[in-house]
Amino acid sequence: MKRLLVGVKRVVDFSVRVRVKPDGSGVALEGAKMSINPFDEIALEEALRIRERGRAEEVIAVGIGPAEVQQQLRTALAMGADRAIHVQTAAALEPLATARVFRRLIEREEPFAVILGKQAIDDDNGQTGQILAALWDRAQATFASKIELTDTQATVTREVDAGLETLSVDLPAVFTTDLRLNEPRYVKLPDILKAKKKPLESIELASLGVDAAGVMRVTKTEAPAPRHKGIMVRDARELVAQLKARGVLQ
């Protein structure tokens, strides 16, 4: 069966103003609205469109984390994923460990492609796709704004500093998605009800033989400094004077 594996990460909703814990130990998640990482939602939408074009037979959504991750996996099933896999762990995995989880699942599911968001909006690492491609020893096409598939190859358009770049890679391959790739579909109530009957498998991280221990340690989390109130100036001379007073100009 031609399968697509898609990553689904649980993050604080992009519309929520993030609060830092009073002790600076991290971000306060209590009571915060949680959603699928926006780039992962785009990845899932692309996988669904590929299946609808007849290039895939099954889309599998994969989420890693505590029990609450199943909420986002159910949303992925409501969007149209055929089944979901929840890898249970209380640890916050770094990109290397996350890539190792996907590598283990690739051995089991044998997908012809893995589609991930280019980054998560909580940590902004943007590394998992690239590391997975190296572990899998397969081609990668990152920051994709267009993906076209044949039975053996993919043609990917990606945005770079100089404009647009087009890559041709052999399948199987790893893709990471950019914002302009597509617009995710709206989930309707009947789809949410249908999603409750779709298979959602839970497995322990330890059963995959992946070490959750990380190499990085967050020593402190701080909120951005508040922006200074703007002022109105009468003319360019006063503007220059103000810039000099603030040390911007000499």
DSSP character string of 46-89: HHHHHHHTTS-SEEEEEEEESTTHHHHHHHHHHHT-SEEEEEE-
**91, pLDDT greater than 80:** yes
Q: What is the pLDDT of residues 173-220, one digit of tens each?
A: 999 999 999 999 999 999 999 999 999 999 999 999 998 888 888 888
- Bridge partners (DSSP) of residue 158 are 144, 165
| Residue 131 identity (one-letter amino acid) | I
Coil, helix or strand at residue 164: strand
Both structure tokens of 177: 């998605």
Q: Please provide residue 206's backbone torsions phi and psi, each rounded to the nearest 5 degrees.
A: -60, -30
Q: Are strands 34-36 and 10-12 parallel, antiparallel or unpaired?
A: antiparallel
Rounded CA-CA distance 136/116 in Å is 14
Q: What is the pLDDT of residues 133-181, one digit of tens each?
A: 999 999 999 999 999 999 999 999 998 888 899 999 999 999 999 999 9
Q: Are strands 3-7 and 58-65 parallel, antiparallel or unpaired?
A: parallel
**Is 141 in contact with 201 (CB distance < 8 Å)?**
no
Helix axis angle, 95-109 to 128-136, nearest 10°? 50
By CB atoms closer than 10 A (0-12, 13-18, 19+), residue 181 is buried
Instruction: Kindly indicate the confidence band of residue 246, based on its pLDDT and cuts at 50, 70 and 90.
Output: confident
Instruction: Identify the structural domains of the chain with CATH numbers, from first to last.
Output: 3-218 (3.40.50.620)
For position 1, what pLDDT does the model report?
73
**131, pLDDT greater than 80:** yes
Instruction: Kindly indicate the confidence band of residue 124, based on its pLDDT and cuts at 50, 70 and 90.
Output: confident
For position 84, what pLDDT does the model report?
97
By CB atoms closer than 10 A (0-12, 13-18, 19+), residue 109 is middle
